[in-house]
Structure formats: structure tokens, C-alpha cells
Amino acid sequence: MKGGAATLIWFAEDGKGLSMILLFILLAPVIGMVTAYILQVITLWVFRKQKPRSVDSLFRVLQLSSSAAFSLGHGGNDAQKTAGVIILLLYASGNVQSLDDPPMWVFYLCYAVISLGTMVGGWKVIKTMGHNLTALKPMGGFCAETAGALTLFGTGMLGIPASTTHTITGAIMGVGASRRVSAVRWQVVYKILGAWVFTIPATTVMSAIVYLLLTSLT
């Protein structure tokens, strides 16, 4: 197992995974941003003599592959983290005897649900990322998605969970900053950062409340 599931199980066994999880909460957007910045600069230089219309047409097609790659990284990372939590619960309750041989139905269920959620929801988030954070053209979208995919593939191969949202946010910022720093709408960035900071304690409190409610009923 790679990505989130592997590290969550590692943390359950010896407690060392937490530092890696916390570290890559910070590193994932930075890696995505730097990678996207470099890709955008290189791509702009390669196509500097081409007509903008032909470049846009080309990268509209290429975005099919970059978005597919990023989606693969998304499923291989975020679904794995969810699977890791479920497997730990099954192990703690005695329904799984060994963490080395987890039931595959957990992974298939997580893959299906995360795909369904991506397909039917999140349009406000898509609008924020695709339009409000910075103005993206097909070339920029390709570079951001490719950078995000490379980051997620790399962390997944190393067995390190990384946030897909954090990664692609950093990548889009890198694309915008490659034109000029002011091309990134920093007020939107600050709101996103605030939401990230708020999410961790909020989910901690909510999970504690749900746990207390459920235990009081049993």
C-alpha cells in the first residue's frame, strides 16, 4: 500500500507517521507551486514564437492527459487516506487480523465514493480554483495539473500522504506567479489558508462530539 493508507497504518503501529503527515501539510503546496512555476516558465519559453490561438488549441487537448494524470493522483492519494482510516477501525474492532493484509473491498469502496463525489459536487471549489485564484489559460492549466500530478505521484511512491487540494492550490499559485506576483489574487489565497487552518481543529472537535454521542448511545 502506498500514500495515505500506508502512512496511517505506519502511524498506528509505531507512532512515527504523524510528523510526516504534518510536514507534508506544509510541503505539498510548496512543492506543487515550485514545480508548476518551473514547468510554466519552460513551456512559455518553448512556445514563445507560436501564435497564442494555436498554443491554446494545443493545450486544450493536452489538458485531457494532464487532468487525467492529476485525477489518478487524486484517487491514489485521497482515497488511500480514507481507506487507511477504515482499515484502522476494522483492525481496532477485531474485524481485520493483520494490517499487512487489508480487505480489498475497502479500497474499491473508497475509489467509488471519491469518484462519485468528484463527479457530482464541488463546483464552487472548482470555480475558486479555476477562475478566482488566478486567470488560467489552457497552458497554465496543463502546467498546474501536471505539477500536481507529479507531486502526488512522488509522495504516493514514497508512501507519504499529501493533500490534493493543497497541492493543486500551490500549483495554480505557481502558474500565476510565473507571470507576475500580482497575477495571484492574494485575498483569495488568504481565505483558502484560513480555511485550511480552521479545518484541522474543526474536524477534531466534530469527531470528538460524534464519538461522545455514539458512545453515550451504546
Model pLDDT for residues 168-205, shown as the tens digit of each residue = 999 999 999 998 888 899 998 999 889 888 988 898 89
Q: Which residue is associated with the grid cell 507560436?
A: 50
Contact 102, 87 (CB under 8 A): yes
Q: Is residue 2 very low, low, confident or very high in pLDDT (cuts 50, 70, 90)? A: very low
For 33-38, what is the mean pLDDT?
96
Cβ neighbours for 39, distance < 8 A, ≥ 6 positions apart: 143, 146, 147
For 119-137, what is the mean pLDDT?
79
pLDDT above 90 as % of the chain: 38
Per-residue pLDDT for 123 more than 60? yes
The predicted model scores a pTM of: 0.82
Q: What is the pLDDT of residue 14?
A: 52
Contact 174, 147 (CB under 8 A): yes
Per-residue pLDDT for 11 more than 60? no
Residue type, 52: P
**Nearest alpha-carbon partner for 184 in 123, 128, 146, 143:** 128
Cell of residue 118, nine digits: 468528484
Q: What is the pLDDT of residue 57?
A: 94
Q: Who has greater pLDDT, 166 or 81?
A: 166
Task: Measure the CA angle with vertex 20, ends 19 and 22; round to 5°.
Answer: 65
